[in-house]
Amino acid sequence: MDTPMRKPKTSTSDTSNREGLLIGERRQRMLELIQRDGRVLVSELSDIFGISRITIRKDLDYLESKGLLQRSHGGALPRSSVLIDPPLKAKEQHQLKEKQRIAAAAVKLIQEGQCVLLDSGTTTTAIARALSGFTNLTIITNAVNIATELAETDFDVILTGGTLRKSSFSLAGPIAEDMIREIHADILFLGVDGFDAKAGLTTPNVLEARINRAMVHTAEKVVMVCDSTKFGRRSLSLIVPADAIHTVITDSNLPADQEEAIRGLGIELILV
């Protein structure tokens, strides 16, 4: 009797492929590996993701065309302008005073009784903390930490639901996106990891980009809030083109060329 052949064991390096990653998610993982290890090799990525080297080369070529990495013989190297997705706690103290000034300017755009949509992030968390002068607001957010911040207020606080991203305390995925599509917000405050007049608003995480895009489409007024270090930078996932937003609030250290580009798009710019 013939002995049945045993199936080879699946190594941990193959799980990414077995999970059925979307193209954007696979490319994001590649960027994370480059940032972590300082380089990647085509052969190693082929083993990790369980796909052909031809496909890996196409992915790396695409990421290079977006300015997200530097191709090298047999692999790729990081570029200093590439943005990764650090944990929320690592971002909290960065540009803290600027974020507080941005938050103070942001709340001046809010009126009593409005429905306010807050994206996850440290700048939008600062905005949540600056809402103490209001008594009648509806706050919708995908940020667990923001909902916690507002738990003892008189506001109606609505959390989107969805899959928890532990590094950012945010909820994302199809459940969160579906909920956002079913509501209407008077104003959205959207934090971003990168803004480029040509590339648009970007973030390192594909799922975050999708829910952010849904937020933009459901809000009457879209206000981008971020400190000046985020300008002229781009990341993997496009949220929306730059002309999809109405207002930008940032600190007064914004470079002159970025200020000119923003005003050239007809976007209201508030410097603090």
pLDDT tens digits along 97-128: 899 999 999 999 999 999 999 999 999 999 99
Give the closest residue to 216 by CA, choosing from 250, 194, 247, 258.
247
Q: How many CB atoms lie within 10 A of CB 268?
A: 14
Give the closest residue to 118 by CA, choosing from 2, 269, 225.
225
User: Residues 73, 97: one domain?
Assistant: no
Q: Does 209 map to a domain?
A: yes
Asked whether the predicted pLDDT for residue 87 surpasses 90, the reply is: no
Q: Decide: helix, strand or coil at residue 257.
A: helix
User: Residues 46, 93: one domain?
Assistant: no
Q: Does 127 map to a domain?
A: yes
User: Residues 109, 241: one domain?
Assistant: yes
User: Residues 67, 111: one domain?
Assistant: no
User: Residues 123, 49: one domain?
Assistant: no
Asked whether the predicted pLDDT for residue 14 surpasses 60, the reply is: no
Residues 110 and 253: their CA atoms lie apart, in Å, by 25
Q: How many CB atoms lie within 10 A of CB 62?
A: 13
Give the closest residue to 190 by CA, choosing from 209, 171, 174.
209
Q: Which amino acid appears at position 87 of this protein?
A: P
208 burial class (0-12, 13-18, 19+ CB within 10 angstroms)? buried
Give the pLDDT confidence of 131-166 residue by residue, as tens digits. Answer: 999 999 999 999 999 999 999 999 999 999 999 988
Asked whether the predicted pLDDT for residue 89 surpasses 70, the reply is: no
Residue with tokens 């993982």: 29
Residues 50 and 28: their CA atoms lie apart, in Å, by 16
Q: Does 178 map to a domain?
A: yes
Give the pLDDT confidence of 75-84 residue by residue, as tens digits. Answer: 888 775 445 5
- Sort strands 115-118 and 138-141 into parallel, antiparallel or unpaired: parallel
Q: Does 1 map to a domain?
A: no
**Domain assignment of residue 67, given as a range:** 12-78
Give the closest residue to 243 by CA, choosing from 194, 206, 208, 201.
201
**What is the reported pLDDT for 240?**
97
Residue where a domain stops, chosen among 78, 98, 133: 78
CA atoms within 13 A of residue 93's CA, in its CB half-sphere: 2
Give the pLDDT confidence of 156-197 residue by residue, as tens digits. Answer: 999 999 999 887 889 999 999 999 999 999 999 999 989 999
Residue where a domain stops, chosen among 51, 78, 105: 78
- Asked if 214 and 239 touch (Cβ cutoff 8 Å), the reply is no
- Asked if 199 and 225 touch (Cβ cutoff 8 Å), the reply is no
Q: Does 3 map to a domain?
A: no
CATH of the domain at 62: 1.10.10.10
Q: Does 4 map to a domain?
A: no
User: Residues 70, 112: one domain?
Assistant: no
User: Residues 131, 247: one domain?
Assistant: yes
Give the pLDDT confidence of 54-73 residue by residue, as tens digits. Answer: 999 999 998 888 878 888 87
**What is the reported pLDDT for 22?**
84
Residue where a domain stops, chosen among 36, 60, 78: 78
- Sort strands 170-172 and 163-165 into parallel, antiparallel or unpaired: antiparallel
The chain-wide mean pLDDT, for the chain, equals 86
Q: How many CB atoms lie within 10 A of CB 79?
A: 14
Q: Decide: helix, strand or coil at residue 157.
A: strand
Number of domains in the chain: 2
User: Residues 205, 116: one domain?
Assistant: yes
User: Residues 25, 119: one domain?
Assistant: no
Residues 144 and 161: their CA atoms lie apart, in Å, by 9
User: Residues 198, 267: one domain?
Assistant: yes
Q: Which amino acid appears at position 70 of this protein?
A: Q
CATH of the domain at 157: 3.40.50.1360
Q: Does 110 map to a domain?
A: yes
User: Residues 124, 233: one domain?
Assistant: yes
User: Residues 132, 150: one domain?
Assistant: yes
